[in-house]
Amino acid sequence: MGYGNQGQTVGWTTHSDKNRVMSTLIGQILRLAMWLGLAGTTVAAGGFLFFASTIERGTRRDVARADAIVALTGGALRVQAAGELLASGKAGRLFITGVNPATSRTDIARTFADIAHFMDCCVELDYEAANTIGNAVQTRQWMDRKGYRSLILVTSAYHMPRTMLEFEAIMPDIQISAYPVVSDTVQLDGWWADGSTFRILAGEYVKFLFAWMRTRLAVYADISVPGFAQALASRHVVLWFKT
């Protein structure tokens, strides 16, 4: 189609020209997507390595006294460490959040010797929290009821970064001291060579990123972080945030 000599096209674009332009455009888009994917993977991998390297390798033994001790369930060593802190006088009250409804106060006193003596006077249990967001919400409400302004936060070392993120977001006016607990079942030294530990850290890193993005979005959108977290917790959003 066109004017001029046979086989020539003047003033018109042939079908083959359009195909070449489209192929070039698609190729450029695919190359851009590939480079963006590679860059994203590199950043994510670098972030994961940094995340894994910053996790405490040993249980912290020195911590300043606070109004309360808060222990998150999910491992016996967490509650045991919290009981030891209470017995040593690091705080006058212990709040255990996320307790299984089937676990009674008697069960806890029987299992943890350091807590048994203080069970009637100084230990309170939360059966409402189903995830880390819920732990933060329930702790905030409990702290407000008691009028406390500082706490020692006890959870597993690998869980501490996300826990601190959630707690600091929902209670920025509370002084929080981290007390990470290291379990023998999580091999933090040489984690890359232990499949189970690698999976735990990788899963926790993904959850940490989700929590970080959610708390940042709430801030940028001028949404109350405590209110946002309470809304999530009240809807039992437990999928990725179950622990």
Tell me what the pLDDT averaged over the chain comes to.
81
Low-confidence winner among 12-16, 51-55, 131-135, 200-204 (lowest mean pLDDT) = 12-16
Low-confidence winner among 8-12, 173-177, 196-200 (lowest mean pLDDT) = 8-12
Q: What is the CATH number of the domain that holds 175?
A: 3.40.50
Residue 175 covered by a domain: yes
Residue 177 covered by a domain: yes
Residue 16 covered by a domain: no
Separation between Cα atoms, residue 51 and residue 66, nearest integer Å: 27
pLDDT at 114: 87
Task: Please write the tens of the pLDDT for every residue from 148-185.
Answer: 999 999 999 999 999 999 999 999 999 999 999 987 67
Task: Please write the tens of the pLDDT for every residue from 124-133.
Answer: 999 999 999 9
Residue 63 covered by a domain: no
Residue 101 covered by a domain: yes
Whether 51 shows a pLDDT value over 80: the answer reads no
Q: What residue numbers bound the domain in which 80 lies?
A: 68-234
Burial of 232 (0-12, 13-18, 19+ CB in 10 A): middle
Residue 83 covered by a domain: yes
Residue 59 covered by a domain: no
Written as one string, the DSSP assignment of 169-234 is HH-TTSEEEEEEE--TTS--TTGGG-HHHHHHHHHHHHHHHHHHHHHHHHHHTT--HHHHHHHHHH
Number of domains forming the structure of the chain: 1
Written as one string, the DSSP assignment of 133-185 is HHHHHHHHHHHHHHT--EEEEEEEGGGHHHHHHHHHHH-TTSEEEEEEE--TT
pLDDT at 12: 53
Q: What is the pTM of this model?
A: 0.74
Residue 211 covered by a domain: yes
